[in-house]
Amino acid sequence: MSKSLDIIDPKKELGDDEPKEEEEMVNAEGSEEKSSGGVFYLVIGIIAVIVSTSLALYILFKDDGGTGTNSAQKSQTATVSPSGSETATESATATTEPQETATSATSSFKYTDESIRIVNGNGVSGEAAKVKDLLEGKGYSIASVANASRTYDESIIYHKTGQEDLAKAIKNDISSLYSAKTELSDSTVGSYDAIIALGAK
């Protein structure tokens, strides 16, 4: 009889399984707490990284802006009162940099869209071709080369309105071969931006 009671007695059969179900429930709750805690710490970590990165970038760019201001102040101070050798050095450096920048800006600027004509007005064969090669080597666009209809005593760079900088640049760039003057003359240049009339050297 005891066997049949043991078999149908629900307390004994459930007694073995109950702790396992409770453990499973406890484990499930614990893992939920752990996973929600992990997400919380992950979000906190991401926020901390973003804040620290933003702070680092702010400090970095703030320092760069400050450096530019300080260097400008140093050069002004050096200009006003050069009291020591360090100040004089800073002044020299600050003065040299703009000159280098201006030189590189002039040499790097190319007149590739402007139309330029060269006419030989000195009677020496091949002079217009020499100037053409020189200017094309510097990036200019030479539209045509020809002989002038008259003889020129001096070289003149005719330019149209608004092309004063072009004329000055040409004058500077041909100075190794010719000394020239610039002259505004829309009627002379016609459809060209500038005409170089080569005269005596």
Q: From residue 58, how far is each of 46, 51, 52, 54, 70 by CA, in Å?
A: 18, 11, 10, 6, 18
Residue with tokens 């006419």: 119
Mapped onto helix, strand or coil, the DSSP state of residue 82 is: coil
Predicted confidence pLDDT, tens digits, the chain (201 residues): 444 444 444 554 444 444 554 555 545 555 555 556 678 888 898 999 999 888 888 888 776 554 444 444 444 444 444 444 444 444 444 444 444 444 433 444 567 788 999 999 998 999 999 999 999 999 899 999 999 999 999 999 999 999 999 999 999 999 999 999 999 999 999 999 999 999 987
**Token code pair at residue 36:** 């929600």
Taken in order of first residue, the domains within the chain and their CATH numbers are: 1-105 (no CATH), 116-198 (3.30.70.2390)
- Kind and range of the H or E run holding 24: helix 10-80
Report field, pTM of the whole predicted structure over 0.75: no
Are the C-beta atoms of residues 152 and 123 closer than 8 Å to each other? no
Amino acid (1-letter code) at residue 155: S
